[in-house]
Chains A and B, each alone.
Chain A
């Protein structure tokens, strides 16, 4: 009962803008990091829906963390929600603009969204970040860009 009263008080303070969402639910930085690590483990195991639950909740209280945003972008891309993936990748790049994985993945998303010019910009940027072709994501970007160029010169389908 006392806990509920305390929670109600916190809600009131939050509604008045005195505390943040993280304080409202007691989401400390350590707890959020632990949840994110667990979410990544689920993601690695291919349990995308469960991982999504974690990252959606974390980004509901903190949209400035580029890691949460890129994880959501990746999950939505894998699940075929391409516009949602694009929004989260773009938001992630606001926090870390040189993440080659996010740039190449966003390029691929744009390719599927029929935005070849914007896709080519991202893919070129990813290739420039991996000039020696040592990074698997850089190699993927090379192949996607090559495919894009082939499509450009291909005769129009009847």
Chain B
């Protein structure tokens, strides 16, 4: 191919002889075989391990070899029979029950008023942890009470093992002492608070879902 001017005015070089040269210089089969042998990957030598081995003490090398995993701090595996992928807010049946629960937890004010009245009548005393555990608890009871910076209701809620039913029985038990009643009232308020927080959380979760659903409907499709 000779150099020439194309119709658009660009001059292209003549490369015809170079192409013919490349064709004539093709290696024969023997040479080709030698070349393919030359690019065969070499046997790899792990130089890293020997370097690491010399740098680490013997104990470390032993522990790194086949060391089996430990459980994480305080970890509890999922109890058998519990669904690994719950979708409680999307399940129509459970969702309806949750809305009803949130509604009753949110609108229930009678018990809260009762607790407030009882608080006004009660005398605050030191916290006795013995009142926080059930009668047949069978473990140790630590004497510590809430620190100055702790919220006493929150503190009671975290440590109380009683149910609302048991606390109601203590509150209305004529034989119970004033300290016991005062402790029961603290726990009662904590339990009501926990249930109220659950109600708020369910309502907020549904409100977030409704908002997302609404924005999805309102937003025009962009594609």
B216 to chain A, nearest CB (A): 23
Q: Write out the residue numbers on chain B whose beta carbons fall within 8 Å of the beta carbon of A113.
A: 142
Number of interface residues of A (CB under 8 A): 72
- B interface footprint on A75-98 (CB within 8 Å = 1, 0 otherwise): 111100101111110110010000
Between B71, B98, B114, B197, the greatest number of chain A beta carbons within 10 A of the residue's beta carbon is seen for B71
In the bound assembly, the distance between CA atoms of A69 and B114 in angstroms comes to 28
B109 to chain A, nearest CB (A): 9
Is the C-beta of A146 less than 8 angstroms from some C-beta in chain B?
no
Q: Report yes or no: B76 in contact with A71, Cβ–Cβ below 8 A.
A: yes
Known: A53-B194, A53-B198, A87-B132. A137 touches B159 (CB 8 A): no
Q: Report yes or no: B73 in contact with A136, Cβ–Cβ below 8 A.
A: no
Q: Write out the residue numbers on chain A whose beta carbons fall within 8 Å of the beta carbon of B201.
A: 50, 53-54
In the bound assembly, the distance between CA atoms of A99 and B165 in angstroms comes to 27
Known: A37-B86, A84-B158, A143-B70. A105 touches B144 (CB 8 A): no
B129 to chain A, nearest CB (A): 8
CB contact between A27 and one of B79, B101, B138, B197 (< 8 Å): that residue: B101
Number of interface residues of B (CB under 8 A): 59
Q: Report yes or no: B86 in contact with A11, Cβ–Cβ below 8 A.
A: no
Q: Report yes or no: B88 in contact with A136, Cβ–Cβ below 8 A.
A: no
Q: Is the interface of B mostly helix, strand, loop or mixed?
A: loop
In the bound assembly, the distance between CA atoms of A77 and B76 in angstroms comes to 11
Q: Which residue of A lies closest to B188 (CB)?
A: A60
Q: Write out the residue numbers on chain A whose beta carbons fall within 8 Å of the beta carbon of B105.
A: 25
Q: Report yes or no: B70 in contact with A140, Cβ–Cβ below 8 A.
A: yes
Q: Report yes or no: B159 in contact with A21, Cβ–Cβ below 8 A.
A: no
Is the C-beta of B32 less than 8 angstroms from some C-beta in chain A?
no
Q: Report yes or no: B157 in contact with A74, Cβ–Cβ below 8 A.
A: no
Is the C-beta of B164 less than 8 angstroms from some C-beta in chain A?
yes
Q: Which residue of B lies closest to A65 (CB)?
A: B79
Q: Report yes or no: B98 in contact with A70, Cβ–Cβ below 8 A.
A: no
In the bound assembly, the distance between CA atoms of A78 and B86 in angstroms comes to 23
Q: Report yes or no: A57 in contact with B198, Cβ–Cβ below 8 A.
A: yes
CB contact between B101 and one of A25, A78, A88 (< 8 Å): that residue: A25
- A interface footprint on B130-164 (CB within 8 Å = 1, 0 otherwise): 00111011111010100000000000011101111
Q: Report yes or no: A139 in contact with B70, Cβ–Cβ below 8 A.
A: yes
Q: Report yes or no: A26 in contact with B76, Cβ–Cβ below 8 A.
A: no
A76 to chain B, nearest CB (A): 6
5 intermolecular pairs with C-beta atoms under 8 Å apart: A28-B97, A56-B197, A78-B74, A90-B138, A135-B71
Other contacts beyond A31-B101, A101-B77: 14, CB < 8 A: A8-B110, A15-B168, A25-B105, A27-B101, A37-B83, A37-B86, A44-B78, A63-B162, A63-B166, A67-B82, A83-B144, A87-B161, A136-B71, A139-B70
6 closest A-B pairs by CB: A90-B139, A77-B74, A57-B198, A136-B71, A37-B86, A60-B191
Using a CB–CB distance below 8 Å, which chain B residues touch chain A?
68-71, 73-79, 82-86, 88, 91, 94, 97-98, 100-101, 103-105, 107-108, 110-111, 114, 132-134, 136-140, 142, 144, 157-159, 161-166, 168-169, 172, 191, 194-195, 197-198, 201
